[in-house]
Amino acid sequence: MTRIVILGGGFAGLFAAKSLVKNLGKSVEVELVSDQNFFVFQPLLPEVAAGSITAAHAISSLRGLLKHVKTRKARVHSIDFVSKTVTVFQGVQKRPTQVPYDQLVIALGQSTDLSRTPGLSEHALAMKTLSDASKLRAHIIEKLEHADITQLPEVKREALTFCVVGGGFSGVETVGEIKELIDRSLKYYPSIDPSEVQVILLEFAESILSELPPRLRCYATEQLKQRGIEVRTSTGITSATGTAITTTNGDVIGTRTIVATIGNAPSCVVRRLGIKTERGKIVVDRSLAVVGVKDAWALGDCAHVPLVDAATAPQEFAPPTAQFAVREARVVADNIHRKLGGKQPIPFSYKSKGAMASLGSKRGVAEVMGLTLTGFPAWLLWRAFYLSFLPGASTRLKVFLNWTLDGLMPRSIVQDIAPDSGQTRVVHYRAGDRIFEAGNRADGFYTIISGRVEVRMKDAKSGDLTSREIAAGGHFGERLILGESRRTGTVRALENTEVLVMDREEFLRLASAFPAFKDYFRAYFKDTYDIGWTPPAQLQ
């Protein structure tokens, strides 16, 4: 029996599997490999982040949706096109397993890479996965909680400044939903005046929603501005820290919330394939067959899909949208069916039916079949379209009920997951940034990766204020290791500085695994502070 293996459980992979079963039935064995056992309806992630629908209702079980498809929860590691096998890591022990195939469908999507902008990958929140959306909601509520009680004007201003980077569909919908969540939550925070909240959308291009006609772009911009969202176009990001971003215009925006909807990059699997790629995407022909590889197909965000023949100018390629991914999936299924039947494949040809974006607060923009809509009708069409597009009747019903209840009841501000600060993390500081002050709660042990800091503290014996500088390779905050809960000194960055922050538990784990690390700090405390450090019992 012919084995067809599909890599990826997004729009492209899911609909390819459904179409293959529909076309070929039980005459083939179809297996889908995904690192999660559910399908995420990504257009709804901004609404999950805003709390208008629950996280559980934006996903559907792959096994439930693909009842006649074998589903394997595993992480794809590599593909051997010669032996026609896929190596995956599966199970608790991540055991390598060979998955053979006769026909391979690659639908691995794209990953996110923010590393080209210093500090952005460490300090920005993404909007790619269900976990990202849930973390963003928890983070926003945490900033409102902090702003409501802080006595420091600068901290309050930074906590109430929310920046979204990227003015495409994802960025616009995210910023609109963030603003609605904040607006509907402020009644619970009496110490926050609405005028203190600043929501900013930054786009490097000259306008937002560049895929839409100019009239709709202008309408979207004006609507966002009327709702109190500052829209900055022709503005990129040059660096980011935990308390600010620097723009390409030289502006420094104090903020503790950065949401990045940019930075699409090929997955690590695609980068390792060793086949022809274009802009990080797998090159395929008009039939969606991988160029130069036998019995392999690629589609969705990971594929460079031509819409016209190479001889036609200008060359056009399919955009990375769900609308195109679903149509590509059907063509791949048809062509595999035709190939197994000894027929010639058909070329992929599809013209977009339009595009829509929700702006939040019951407003939207839409271009459908040449018809343009704005305001409430566009927003209603957006919801109706995506509701009909959701896979599974039960999911559609749950989302519809969520939307109905959200329109009738107050928005929940329950922080159902703790904000993720990370036990070991890299943090960037600009020159002059205060890292911590004397009296602050001790939150970590700091090692300087690059840059230079100044430590000011009172001498334990004389009471005099002392100052010392620490450069790359040095460390500070080590009294946390002794169990002290409050800082005894103040530290600020003398220049742009990058540090590795480790909490006490992580430090002790590292010390237990590396005796030389433990011995170094035993000697360090004796030589520097004349304090003997006795490691906890578990490290003896």
CATH of the domain at 474: 2.60.120.10
Lowest mean pLDDT among 189-198, 447-456, 461-470: 461-470
Indicate if 448 and 535 belong to the same structural domain.
yes
Indicate if 231 and 283 belong to the same structural domain.
no
| pLDDT over threshold 80, residue 265 | yes
Indicate if 107 and 152 belong to the same structural domain.
no
Indicate if 432 and 535 belong to the same structural domain.
yes
Indicate if 497 and 461 belong to the same structural domain.
yes
Indicate if 206 and 299 belong to the same structural domain.
no
Mean pLDDT of 445-461: 90
Residue 19 lies in a domain: yes
Residue 482: the pLDDT is 79
Per-residue tokens: 39:
């399908």
**C-alpha triplet 164, 123, 503: angle, nearest 5°:** 150
Lowest mean pLDDT among 67-76, 321-330, 349-358: 349-358
Task: Give the end of a domain, one of 367, 389, 411.
Answer: 389
Residue 460: the pLDDT is 67
| Domain extent at residue 439 | 424-539
Give the CATH number for residue 314. 3.50.50.60
Per-residue tokens: 132:
């990202």
Residue 233: the pLDDT is 97
Residue 537: the pLDDT is 59
CB within 8 Å of 516: residues ≥ 6 apart: none
A 10 A CB-CB count for 119 gives 25
Total domains, the chain: 3
What's the pLDDT tens digit per position in 227-248? Answer: 999 999 999 999 999 999 999 9
Indicate if 221 and 370 belong to the same structural domain.
yes
Mean pLDDT of 182-200: 97
Per cent of the chain over pLDDT 90 is 74
Query: Using 50, 70 and 90 to split pLDDT, how confident is the model at 513?
Result: confident
Indicate if 108 and 124 belong to the same structural domain.
no
What's the pLDDT tens digit per position in 138-160? Answer: 999 999 999 999 999 999 999 99
Indicate if 252 and 370 belong to the same structural domain.
yes
Closest Cα partner for 265 from 306, 211, 302? 302
Indicate if 47 and 151 belong to the same structural domain.
no
CB 464 within 8 A of CB 458: yes
Q: Any bridge partners for residue 253, and if so which?
A: 245
CB within 8 Å of 252: residues ≥ 6 apart: 244, 245, 246, 430
Indicate if 233 and 316 belong to the same structural domain.
no
Residue 406 lies in a domain: no
What's the pLDDT tens digit per position in 293-303? Answer: 999 999 999 99
Residue 450 lies in a domain: yes
- What amino acid occupies position 250? G
Residue 416 lies in a domain: no
A 10 A CB-CB count for 208 gives 25
Average pLDDT, the chain: 92
Residue 422: the pLDDT is 56
Residue 94: the pLDDT is 86
Pairing of strands 244-247, 237-240: antiparallel
Residue 459 lies in a domain: yes
Site of tokens 């009842």: 67
Mean pLDDT of 343-367: 93
Residue 421: the pLDDT is 57
| pTM, entire model | 0.89
Indicate if 303 and 363 belong to the same structural domain.
no
* Measured distance CA(174)–CA(76) in Å, rounded: 30
CB 147 within 8 A of CB 158: no
